Amino acid sequence: MQNLLPASVVQKLLSADLSSHAVVVGFDAFIDQNVRIVGHRTGAEECTLMPTMAEFGKWATRSSGRSGGREYLVEEVAPGGCSLNLGDGLAGLGLPVDAFIGVGEPAHEVFAGLSGRFRSLQSLGMGPGRSFVLQFDDGKLILGNFEELVRVTPDFLRPRIAASDYAARCASADAIVFTCWSVYPHMTACWHYLMEEVLAGLTTRPQLFFDIADPCQRTDDDMRGLLAALKKWETIGPVTLSVNENEADLLAHAAGLEKAPAESTLESRTLHLHKVLGISRVVLHSVRAAASTGPEGSNEVPVLYCPNPVKTVGAGDRFNAGFLAGLLLGWPDSHCLALGNACSGFFVRTGCSATVSGLVPPC
């Protein structure tokens, strides 16, 4: 495998003690059905796959006003969700992770063995969402079912948080991660509950890391409420918001920013968002580069592109795991970005979360 990390970052990683940095993650878990669309079947056991979303879109458009049917192949039914994937990425690097994620009670069989990856795993009475993931060579389309997630409100969480050790785990954590705001209709209210009733008394200021997931079906008013809540989280700890390009565009629009020019760099776009959000750090990642703007200024680091990925679902979550690990080690953002890119690159090439030994080239 190609060396995914600069030599200077390799040396820092080898000397780091990641096991001393505990992280709490929550709350989403999903059962992912990952499929490929058949392009042409050439025999009982042979077929070609539809390679791109553009080709799929052309077929769907041609079917408009008529009907259409396609064969799909189930490549995998797998545990998923941003919190689960990000936590798995952190655990792979050696960080102790306390996961409060909705795997069900009892846990659905797809999550069997997952608890061994985390220091602790609790569902808080929450069940998993479900997703149908259409994978193509140039990306993926995710169709989600969020029926279980609609139940999660402050009134739902209050007795379950009180009966758990969530507050105690957060009190001793170096970072607290919140993901998938977009798929929880009541999550902004849940955040206010957590800020005001659960975490307001923290004597430390943990890193607070947010990945909201694609908010395309949420209204601008919803997103403005999200942005106001993110700013309020700064009273608990420094906030890092990590987004992809699509998410960045939607948030910028909700914040009243003009659309970034097509030729703008990722770095300039993080700077643009950072100015209006009023939080410590904005991170933006794509298939070609990753960038951040924070207390030390702005950075952009290129990505080593993978033309034939083994798996793409969860790659952004592994990027987030690498970036957060670097942040907890006190690294400059440029090195955090490099580690995030390496963890994502390792995942798309192998289908597994990166380990330190996997990221370090053999001598």
pLDDT in tens, 95-130: 999 999 999 988 989 998 887 899 999 999 999 999
Q: Is the pLDDT of residue 256 over 70?
A: yes
pLDDT grade for 356, boundaries at 50, 70 and 90: very high
DSSP 87-152: HHHHHHHT--EEEEE--TTTTPGGGTTGGGGSSEEE-TTPPPEEEEEEEETTEEEEEEE-GGGGG-
Among residues of the chain, what percentage have pLDDT more than 90?
Answer: 83
Q: What's the CA gap between 284 and 193, in Å, rounded?
A: 28
Q: What's the mean pLDDT when you consider all of the chain?
A: 94
Whether the ω angle into residue 56 lies within 30 degrees of 0, i.e. cis, is: no
185-212 residue pLDDT tens: 999 999 999 999 999 999 999 999 999 9
Report pTM.
0.92
51 falls within a domain: no
CA angle 263, 267, 271 (to 5 degrees): 110
| Cα distance from N-terminal residue to C-terminal residue, the chain | 13
Task: Report the CATH number at residue 283.
Answer: 3.40.1190.20
Q: What's the CA gap between 197 and 25, in Å, rounded?
A: 18
Q: What is the largest CA-CA distance in the chain?
A: 65
311 falls within a domain: yes
Q: Is the pLDDT of residue 262 over 80?
A: no
Q: Is the pLDDT of residue 47 over 80?
A: yes
Q: What's the CA gap between 319 and 206, in Å, rounded?
A: 20
Q: Is the pLDDT of residue 313 over 90?
A: no
62 falls within a domain: no
Q: Is the pLDDT of residue 255 over 80?
A: yes
Confidence at residue 213, expressed as pLDDT on a 0 to 100 scale: 94
Per the structure block, which two tokens stand in for 292?
């951040």
338 falls within a domain: yes
pLDDT grade for 230, boundaries at 50, 70 and 90: very high
133-148 residue pLDDT tens: 998 988 889 898 999 9
Average pLDDT over every residue of 80-98:
97
Confidence at residue 363, expressed as pLDDT on a 0 to 100 scale: 58
Per the structure block, which two tokens stand in for 216?
């395309």
pLDDT grade for 258, boundaries at 50, 70 and 90: confident
Confidence at residue 1, expressed as pLDDT on a 0 to 100 scale: 66
pLDDT grade for 257, boundaries at 50, 70 and 90: confident
- Find, among 228, 81, 219, 226, the residue nearest to 144 by Cα: 81
59 falls within a domain: no
Q: What's the CA gap between 168 and 141, in Å, rounded?
A: 38
Average pLDDT over every residue of 172-196:
97
- Find, among 98, 116, 119, 131, the residue nearest to 30 by Cα: 131
Average pLDDT over every residue of 221-249:
96
What distances in angstroms separate CA 92 from CA 74, 80, 272, one per listed residue? 26, 15, 33
8-34 residue pLDDT tens: 899 999 999 999 999 999 999 999 999
Domain total of the chain: 1
pLDDT grade for 306, boundaries at 50, 70 and 90: confident
Whether the ω angle into residue 154 lies within 30 degrees of 0, i.e. cis, is: no
DSSP 166-224: HHHHHHT-SEEEEE-GGG-TTHHHHHHHIIIIISTT-SS--EEEEE----TTS-HHHHH
123 falls within a domain: yes
Is residue 242 within 8 Å of 283, Cβ to Cβ? yes
Per the structure block, which two tokens stand in for 33?
């059905």
Confidence at residue 137, expressed as pLDDT on a 0 to 100 scale: 86
296 falls within a domain: yes
The DSSP letter of residue 115 is G
DSSP bridge partners of 24: 98, 176
57 falls within a domain: no
Beta pairing, strands 289-294 & 72-80: unpaired
**Domain around 342:** 7-33+79-359
